[in-house]
Structure formats: C-alpha cells, structure tokens
Amino acid sequence: MASLGNAHITFIGGGTMAEALARGILGRRLAAPGQITVSEPLAERRAQLAEALGVVVAEENAEAVRGADIVVLAVKPQVAGAAVPPLREALRREALVLSIMAGVRIGTLEGMLGPIALVRAMPNTPGQVGEGITAWTRTPAVTDAQAEQARTLLSALGDEVEVAGEDYVDMATALSGSGPAYVFLFLEALVDAGVQMGLARPVAERLALQTVRGAAVYAQQSPLHLAVLRNMVTSPGGTTAEGLFALEQGGLRASVTQAVLASYRKARKLGGMDTA
C-alpha cells in the first residue's frame, strides 16, 4: 500500500466514520498526524480527536481546507447544504474532494463547489475496525495520481472497489452499505434460536459470530462458487438439508432480494433520482 506522501488531508466533520478513516490512515502509516486536520463544530469532540489521534483540529471549515490537497466531506447528508458551499472559495482548484456522504450525488456537489476533482464513495460500518468495503467512483477531472490517492486513503478502512459510475455507488449503498444490518439481524436470529434450544446466550453468541465470520473468510479464500460450498456442507437427508429447506420455505432468498432492492430505491430517492 503506497503512502499518501506529504499530502495535507482535511476532514469536514469529525464523526465516527471520519475518525475511523483518520485512525486507519495513521495506523497504516500512510500519513503523519500533522498532515491531518479535522474540522468539527463541537469543542468537546475536537478535544477528543486531538487527544486520541494527535491530529490538528479546527472549528471553521473554510479555514481548515485552505491549502489542503485532499478534502474529505464527512458531515451528515442533511447538513451538506449548509456545510459544503462555504468551502468553494477556500478550496484549491488542484485539490481532490472525496465525499463519503450517503445519498449526496456528484451533480449536487459540483453545484455547490464548482468544477473540481471529485470522488464519491460509500464505505460501510466494518471500516471502523479495518474490515470494511468501499465502493467509489470518480469524475473525469480526477487525475490518475489522485485516483491512486483515493484508493490508498479508502483502503485504510479495509477493501475498496472502483465502480464505473455513481448509479453503482447507489447499488453498493443497498448491498454493502446497508448489508451489515442484514447480517446483524441474521446473527440475532441465530443467537435467539440457540437460546430457544437451551444454549446459554454467551455460548450461542460465540458460536453464531464465529460461524458467520469463519464462513465469510472461507468463502473469500476458496475458489469455489458459493453454491458449491453450500452443497459441501449439505449431506443428503441430513440436518443441514432440513434447515435449508425450512429457510427456503420461509422465503429467505426473496426476502434478502426485496430488502436490497428496497434499500436501493430509497438510496435513489434520497439522491433525488426517483421521486415515486
């Protein structure tokens, strides 16, 4: 993984994902604390970030971005209209702007900031422990060198994949962005089933968590199709076959598909693409 060199990185917003990204950058030695500025309106939060990470903190967004090579927009989407436009005059035209604001589309950001090199990215919550996956796309103004900077920066959260356009970012929002919640719900159901059978809850949680983690790692490392892996666990007339039959009767596949599509439609609506 290449370092970010001497690039000055400014975060607009000091929330959970901004902290995770800054922590990942520092933990992987991609940049030094003095290269990172976090602009955050809450004094208590600024103090926390300065103490925990050793980064520079600021209160005024426009001042924080002056001279920055990379600006990460990490405020809540609903405050983008107030937080982003004041940056326009302070931004260097050569700067790379990377947005991790869910649902805020590239056209909206360009309207606020003018013509600029822009990356829109959708990380997910496992990035907080370095096990995330981020889908991202770039505008034509982003140079190859800036794209590598974006790739390196986002890899601090885990894996990353560049997609061909922001429609695919909306799809990733529904699949990998919302996906952890689906997995947590499935884990809850596994644990509750274990408790109903008679297992102590801590034992059921340990069994369920490691089962899901192990299955995911196994699937990542195996060259085999997921269906083949599933069949390898399923003996004819056995316990797994019986359990899978019950899941199919309950419509697991259809329910998961409906959940992802519903999330996708919501992502499009929040971005102003679909109003129905």
DSSP states of 108-162 as a string?
A: HHHHHH-S-EEEEEE--GGGGGT-EEEEEEE-TTS-HHHHHHHHHHHGGGEEEEE
pLDDT at 102: 87
Q: Residue 48 has what pLDDT?
A: 97
The per-residue pLDDT for range 133-173, each reduced to its tens digit, is 999 999 999 999 999 999 999 999 999 999 999 999 999 99
Residues in the chain: 276
What residues does 134 pair with on adjacent strands? Answer: 160
The whole-number average pLDDT for the span 81-97 is 95
Question: Does a structural domain hold residue 171?
Answer: no
Indicate the average pLDDT of the chain: 95
Question: Are 88 and 16 in a shared domain?
Answer: yes
Q: Cβ(63)–Cβ(231) under 8 Å?
A: no
Check residue 274 and give its pLDDT.
Answer: 64
Which residue, 138, 164, 190, sits at the end of a domain?
Answer: 164
Q: Are 197 and 134 in a shared domain?
A: no
Phi then psi for residue 102, to 5 deg, are -65, 130
Type of residue found at 119: V
Residue 276 has pLDDT above 70, yes or no: no
Whether 142 is in a domain gets the answer yes
- Of 164, 188, 220, the last residue of a domain is 164
Domain boundary residue, one of 135, 164, 193:
164
CATH code of residue 204: 1.10.3730.10
pLDDT bracket for residue 49 (50, 70, 90): very high
φ, ψ of residue 131 in degrees (nearest 5): -120, 30
pLDDT at 10: 98
Q: Are residues 70 and 156 in the same domain?
A: yes
CB 14 within 8 Å of CB 45 = yes
The CATH number linked to 35 is: 3.40.50.720
Domain encompassing residue 263: 179-270
The pLDDT of residue 1 = 52
Q: Write down the pLDDT at residue 109.
A: 96
CB 103 within 8 Å of CB 266:
no
Q: Is the pLDDT of residue 273 over 80?
A: no
> pLDDT per residue over 211-247, tens digit each?
999 999 999 999 999 999 999 999 999 999 999 999 9
Query: In the β-sheet with 158-162, what is the strand arrangement from edge to edge?
Result: 56-58, 36-39, 9-12, 70-73, 96-99, 117-122, 132-138, 158-162
- Residues 36, 100, single domain; the answer is yes
Percentage of the chain lying above the pLDDT 90 cut: 93
How many domains is the chain built from? 2
243 lies in the same domain as 198: yes
Residue 170 located in a structural domain: no
